[in-house]
Amino acid sequence: MASNYKYVILGGGNASGYAAAEFVKRGGGKGELAIITREPHVAYERPTLSKAYLFPEGAPRLPGFHTCVGGGGSKQEPEWYKEHGIDYKLKTEIKSADVSKKTLTSTSGETFSYEKLIIATGARAVDLATDFKTPGADLKGIYSFRDVEDADSILAAISDVKSRGGKVVVVGGGYIGMEVGSNLSKHGLDVTLVWPEKHLMERLFTPEVATFYEEYYKNKGIKLHPEALATSFEGKDGKVTHAVLKDGTKIEAQMVISGAGARPNVELFEGQIDLLKDKPGGVKVDGKMQTSNPDVYAIGDIAAYPLKRYGITTRQEHVANARQTGALAISAILAPGETQDFDYLPFFYSRVFDLGWQLYGSNAPDDETVFFGSKADKKFGTFYVRDGKVVGAFMEGGDNDENAALSKIAKAQPKAPSDLASLGVGLASKL
């Protein structure tokens, strides 16, 4: 059976929710748009999952965090899509795409045809068993983390894990490692982080900043194993009992969480549209999110686009990017004359324990870095300086005004003054 739509969004994640909001705002016609997703829920704010969703008390649940609440918009529950004539195909996995015939086919054999397709398939969590072939990674008790069902499985296992020793190993020292690790420790679990780099969040944090968080985690009872790889897992009766590190160290674990990165879901389109084989990977798009096929657009985690202000091609696995690229692609399709090329200011944030940081702009390993503020006051940051200009600004503990100042500085890219360290975010008032 074939269903025909003018527009199809493949993937029902963050980017699609914001694309749907823009579609309605721009007066897209009823019955013209379908969103197809394998998930059983309409689009929700994925960032909630590794944060408040895991809290032992007062945790939000769906429908509380459907898009677009995270971006300050209205909550789009299933009724919202019905009301606006958008067909939402839940629990529908697309197994093949034919861009020349303009069709998508689901695992159950259903075919969808489109005039314009927006690919929003996002990224998937690296799976230690299938992606890294880590021996023992298929034991029970080892979880990856991407969607509501993953979070629910982890939460449901906690009391059993506690009864058998309460020890959790989290693999990865990035976002998932830090956020999920901190929240599981709030459940009274004994958490160990294991990751290959020297410092936590090494891509973004300077060593000076990272050591603040590392000390914080240790004071909260979390054990840290930097520069360590989990090379195998051991188990008993099919359940994980230990993570084994490359140097032979065995760490007891009744639960293992993998936070070892994400991979863009682009395989359906291999050989059909231009994909980037090398970094940053993903689907190559122009400043209007249009792929090498004029009837196919790509948004969110999979879209690799020109980042105008730094003259590079980027792919951002972050929610502000998903929200903005989703809206932009719809605008480019429905109102091409009004749509400018994407001019994104990268934005990253996280919240762990009672801490919270934001980073605007760019940072690279060769940048000069300038520290400001006070670690003792939990209010400090880093400026990233390239060719004498401030290109990125990070701050822990910023309030709304300070975070707005970070954004203003990163956007303006001012020449770095000699008193940058003492000025801190005060630099913004001089711009």
Question: Three-state DSSP class for 134?
Answer: coil
Q: Which of 123, 169, 209, 273 binds ligand NAD (CB under 6 A)?
A: 123
Residues touching ligand FDA, count (CB under 6 A): 33
Q: Which of 22, 317, 367, 402 binds ligand NAD (CB under 6 A)?
A: 317
Closer Cβ to ligand FDA, 123 or 423, answer by number: 123
Pick the stretch among 175-183, 273-281, 365-373, 412-420 that binds ligand NAD (CB under 6 A).
Answer: 175-183
Nearest distance from residue 43's CB to ligand NAD, in Å? Answer: 16
Nearest distance from residue 299's CB to ligand NAD, in Å? Answer: 15
- 173 forms part of the interface with ligand FDA (CB under 6 A): no
Closest CA to 119 of 146, 150, 94: 94
- 209 forms part of the interface with ligand NAD (CB under 6 A): no
Amino acid sitting at position 98:
D
Closer Cβ to ligand NAD, 37 or 339, answer by number: 37
Whether residue 173 contacts residue 211, with contact meaning beta carbons closer than 8 Å, is answered with no
Q: Which of 122, 136, 166, 373 binds ligand FDA (CB under 6 A)?
A: 122
- 349 forms part of the interface with ligand FDA (CB under 6 A): yes
Binding mask 137-156 for ligand FDA (x = CB under 6 A): --------xx----------
Own/partner pairs for 337-344, CB < 8 Å, 24+ apart? 339/288, 340/287, 341/286, 341/287, 341/288, 341/306, 341/308, 342/287, 342/288, 342/289, 342/305, 342/306, 342/308, 343/287, 343/308, 343/309, 344/305, 344/307, 344/308, 344/309, 344/314, 344/316
Closest CA to 171 of 241, 242, 258: 258
122's contact among ligand NAD, ligand FDA, none, with CB below 5 to 8 A by partner kind, is ligand FDA
Residues between 411 and 430 that touch ligand NAD (CB under 6 A): none
- Dihedral of the CA atoms 367, 370, 374, 376 (nearest 10)? 40
Q: What are the helix (H) ranges across 31-174? A: 78-83, 148-163
Q: Which residues bind ligand NAD (CB under 6 A)?
A: 50, 123, 132, 171-177, 179, 195-197, 229-230, 259-262, 317-318, 348-350
